Amino acid sequence: MKVEFWLAFILYFCVLFAVGFAVRKKKPSASDMLMGSRGLNFWVTALSAQASDMSSWLFMAFPMAVMVGGIPQIWLAVGLLFGMFATWHFIAPKLRVETERYNAYTLSTYFSKRFHDPKGVIRVLSSVMMLLFLTYYLAAGLISIGLLCESLFELNYYVGILIAATVILGYTFIGGFVSVAWVDLFQAIFLLLAIIIVPCMAFFQIDGWAAIFAAAENSKIPMTFFPENYKDILYPLFGWGLGYFGMPHIITKFMAIKDPKELTKSKYLGITWEACALIAATFVGIIGIAYFKNGIANPEFVFVNMVSNLFHPFTSGLVLCGVMAATISTMDSQILVAASSVTEDIYKQLINKNATSKKEVVAFRFAVVIFTLLALWIASYRNQTIMETVYYAWAGLGCTFAPLIISALYSKYVTRQGALAGVIAGGLLAAIWPMLNRYLAEAGILEATPTMIIGFPFGLAMIFSVSYLTKKRNFA
């Protein structure tokens, strides 16, 4: 165990606390904690939204996919860019205006008011679905941090996830939305520098592109952009890209920008950031084919092992904080959204409808603690890969909320019953599809198909078919 590693990580965590503490409000209102009183500028909106997206997937799962599966895995990145651009362009402006119009600080509150749901059934049900899948998403982040702590510090996995959860809980508990947004801005800049520097340094340690192609040929790794099977393009493109429309920890950042007209600037800044990050992560995987031509024990650690070989321990520690930055920037946003939903959609709806702003802040902070503990419990099982856990949560959120968000913003004919059917159908299918799809594939009925490919159109079909059958037209 290197003392220099510890010094680098301690320095990094101190900076996170300092940023989160500096921007907090001393006496925050419920609006401050839940939505930052809709006061973010376009820089913070853009980079905090993008940082909330990537997680440890950027540094660990995606480079592994490229290193093992070759250049065709780039379609994963193309799918993400396509989905995020479409979300910025088609969802962000309308959602910002509509949520302010309905005075909604959470998606569940917006759905309830948009579809005239006086009993709050949509509100509570969508909140429960959101909490379920966000918990798994947060657990994936904790798993990656625990594995990282084991690899680098010879630190017990469980101690590692406990430390990470405590750090994130701290500044989220203190400052709420504003602290999370500004910490994510800092981490977006930091992790982008880390993911760009490493492949540039590693490339000069191998014999150029010839070495990469030779190692790929020796290991039978495909190096062509267009794979032979068209499904290898469509599945990554839509299996991931469609999910963006329903990611609450990302799109809530759109809702908090001060001036909706500035979302155009945020869109291009955010997409530029994401393109740079994904291109750099792709090169980590491609260069890793030659850099580790004899393979490594765990391909998910291609970036981590590369950094450890390239830099002095203290510098390595700082660079590897980029992995922490990617993970933490997603986790804090997920904790924030979950706690906001508990406060706004469950506490105020079922427990105390006349709660004061002060009581809402207390409820928010209590929810932050409970949600973090629940994710810690799931992460303690550590029985899945990061990619599997992330995709299960990603598809769950996407199938549950993406069809409904699109319908709510762009259709006047969706009924309350249709909206409820969409949430139930999309969420339940996403929850059981991995098991059901495995059974169908083994029986030779249907080959393995990504959850989003099935769940998104199914949820959308349920929304409009049930809306048609109930024969109610909502012109709100």
Q: Residue 224: which CATH number? A: 1.20.1730.10
In a domain, 62, yes or no: yes
3-state secondary structure of 325: helix
Q: What is the pLDDT of residue 293?
A: 82
> Of all residues in the chain, what percent are helix, strand and coil, respectively (each to 5)?
80, 0, 20
Q: What separation in angstroms does the CA of 246 have from each of 46, 85, 251, 411, 452?
A: 17, 14, 8, 16, 11
Please give the residue range of the domain that contains residue 276.
3-389
Instruction: Assess if residue 152 is contained within a domain.
Output: yes
The helix/strand/coil state of 228 is coil
Between the alpha carbon of residue 376 and those of residues 139, 146, 429, the distances in Å are: 7, 11, 25
Give the bridge partners for 40, in sequence order: 257
Question: Closest Cα partner for 55 from 456, 389, 449?
Answer: 389
pLDDT for residue 180 = 81
One-letter amino acid at 190 equals F
- Please indicate, yes or no, if residue 8 is contained in any of the structural domains: yes
pTM of the model: 0.86
∠ CA(42), CA(45), CA(50), 5° rounding? 125
308 falls within a domain: yes
In a domain, 65, yes or no: yes
Q: How far apart are CA 256 and CA 34, in angstroms?
A: 9
What pLDDT is stored for residue 466 in this prediction?
Answer: 94
Confidence at residue 208, expressed as pLDDT on a 0 to 100 scale: 87
Sites in the chain below the pLDDT cut of 50 = 1, 474-476
**pLDDT for residue 19:** 81
pLDDT value at position 448? Answer: 67
For residue 337, tell me if it sits in a domain. Answer: yes
How many structural domains compose the chain? 1
Does 407 reside within a domain?
no
Q: In Å, how far from its chain's centre is CA 378?
A: 17
Strand partners, 257: 40
**pLDDT reported for residue 152:** 66
Residue 437 counted as domain residue: no
CB 63 within 8 A of CB 301: no
